[in-house]
């Protein structure tokens, strides 16, 4: 087994969120892959203060204990699968705050995007790609989108169609290749 470590970041903390079931499904699909080990990073386990530092983290890292702990967690991984809902044509505020709170720990790593919403979370993914680019995260082409009307019963019970399993394997393959390649970039820095 590869020593690549990939975090599946659950980007919603709402009560009754659908993201937990989506993240669990992603982890189940990743079981047994030889290219990497996948682990859950739930933003509920990392309550961060709203970003209000006098300088951005690209200039000076936060010294707040919650942010330092989150930075240490994120820094351990070679890549990320970010699971995000779509709220008001964008991704969640808690995910944006997590991305904004640290900087160097994201740099020169890869991410794959998994979204859900009434339009499969597509608009959230497009905005998330812009933010990840600024953080120097290489986002892979493949993505997974789940529709609240067809992949959830009553908009709450996750029942993804079978076509998503093959798409997940393709996504993991892209992510693992980019994560491995960027590891050499980080080693040379």
What does the angle CA 99 – CA 101 – CA 104 come to, to the nearest 5 degrees? Answer: 80
Burial 14-32 (b: 16+ CB within 10 A, else e): eeebbbbbbbebbeebbee
Which pLDDT tens digit goes with each residue over 49-105? 999 999 999 999 999 999 999 999 999 999 999 999 999 999 999 999 999 999 999
CB 103 within 8 A of CB 132: no
What letter does residue 151 receive in the DSSP assignment?
S
Which pLDDT tens digit goes with each residue over 148-169? 999 999 999 999 999 999 999 9
- Residue-range domains of the chain with CATH: 5-188 (3.40.50.360)
């Amino acid at each position: 087994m590869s020593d690549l470590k990939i975090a599946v970041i659950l980007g919603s903390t709402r009560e009754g969120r659908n993201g937990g079931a989506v993240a669990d499904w992603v982890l189940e699909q990743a079981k047994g892959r030889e290219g990497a080990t996948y682990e859950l990073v739930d933003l509920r386990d990392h309550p961060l203060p709203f970003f209000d530092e006098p300088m951005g983290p690209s200039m000076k890292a936060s010294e707040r204990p919650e942010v330092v702990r989150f930075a240490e967690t994120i820094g351990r991984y070679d890549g990320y699968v970010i699971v995000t809902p779509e709220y008001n044509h964008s991704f969640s505020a808690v995910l944006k705050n997590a991305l904004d709170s640290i900087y160097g720990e994201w740099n020169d790593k890869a991410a794959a995007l998994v979204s859900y919403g009434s339009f499969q979370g597509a608009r959230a993914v497009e905005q998330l790609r812009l933010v990840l680019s600024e953080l120097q995260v290489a986002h892979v082409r493949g993505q997974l989108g789940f529709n609240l009307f067809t992949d959830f019963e009553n908009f709450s019970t996750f029942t993804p169609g079978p076509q998503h399993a093959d798409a997940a394997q393709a996504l993991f393959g892209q992510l693992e290749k980019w994560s491995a390649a960027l590891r050499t970039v980080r080693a040379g820095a």
